[in-house]
Amino acid sequence: MKLDILVLAAHPDDGELACSGTILSHVAKGYKVGIIDFTQGELGTRGSAELRLQEAEESAKILGLSVRKNISLRDGFFQNEEKDLLEIIKQIREYQPTIVLANAVEDRHPDHGRASELSERACFLSGLIKVETKLNGRPQAAWRPSFIYHYIQDRYIKPDFVTDITPYFEKKIEAIKAFKSQFYDPSSASPDTYISSPEFLEFIRARAEEYGHSIGVKYGEGFTTFRKVGVNDLFDLR
């Protein structure tokens, strides 16, 4: 299956927290979108790897994803090296996305910045015909996405562009809450964490309001890019 947009995420719920409004808006327009989660989030304080996989599937239904896959790299320990790069390259070549959305270039969680670097490198190497890969015993053709954009996560980063997610914000929250073991639940006996406080989801709303305000809408999501963004029509700009 060829995808229009492939989201690469260090952990299940990274895509939901940072760019699920953008995912929803593009699915609504008929684009095929998928998520590749690098790890099972097995080092997370709350819940378990098995539960995170179940929650990811529930969120995938809410988002209307065409594909969701977990490639089971080691949470906290995946590296920008050949073995892990090849696993990501296989997914890029399998789904041949035009656009890749990847983790924040730097963030509170060190896996995020490392996943960002890994994604950039994998997208480039995926286009080299002398990098040979097989998936399910089948040789794969080289493929390089046309664009890679980085979503913004916990730490504030000034975006290079902002998408309007106003009609989809409440559904974004629904997708986030599919990861119910991770977020605020007053009945939970699990240890409190940075993201399990009631204030954390308030922060998600405030961040979306801040980015939305910057382009004159209610809610937005910000992205950065290492290349300049071009336009064909000035009337496409907000």
| CATH number assigned to the domain comprising residue 191 | 3.40.50.10320
Does a structural domain hold residue 232?
Answer: no
Strand-pair category, 138-139 with 134-135: antiparallel
Place of tokens 């590296």: 79
What angle separates helix 198-214 from helix 169-177, to the nearest 10 degrees?
150
Does a structural domain hold residue 227?
Answer: no
pLDDT of residue 185: 84
Q: How would you write the pLDDT of the chain (238 residues) with one tens digit per residue?
A: 899 999 999 999 999 999 999 999 999 999 999 999 999 999 999 989 999 999 999 999 999 999 999 999 999 999 999 999 999 999 999 999 999 999 999 999 999 999 999 999 999 999 999 999 999 999 999 999 999 999 999 999 999 999 999 999 999 999 999 999 999 888 888 899 999 999 999 999 999 999 999 999 999 999 999 999 999 999 988 8
Please write down the long-range contacts of 133-139, taking CB distance under 8 Å and 24 or more positions apart.
133/86, 133/89, 133/90, 133/93, 134/90, 135/90, 135/93, 135/94
181 CB-contact burial (10 Å; exposed 0-12 / middle 13-18 / buried 19+) = middle
pLDDT of residue 135: 93
Nearest one of 8, 21, 10 to 173, comparing CA atoms: 21
Does a structural domain hold residue 189?
Answer: yes
pLDDT of residue 1: 87
pTM: 0.96
Does a structural domain hold residue 230?
Answer: no
191 CB-contact burial (10 Å; exposed 0-12 / middle 13-18 / buried 19+) = exposed
Does a structural domain hold residue 12?
Answer: yes
Contact indicator for 145, 92 with CB cutoff of 8 Å: yes
| Sign, Cα dihedral of 134, 121, 226, 103 | positive
Task: Compute the half-sphere exposure of residue 62: CA atoms within 13 Å on the CB side of its CA.
Answer: 23
State how many domains the chain has.
1
pLDDT of residue 13: 97
Does a structural domain hold residue 228?
Answer: no
Which domain does 176 fall in, by range? 5-221
Does a structural domain hold residue 72?
Answer: yes
Does a structural domain hold residue 73?
Answer: yes
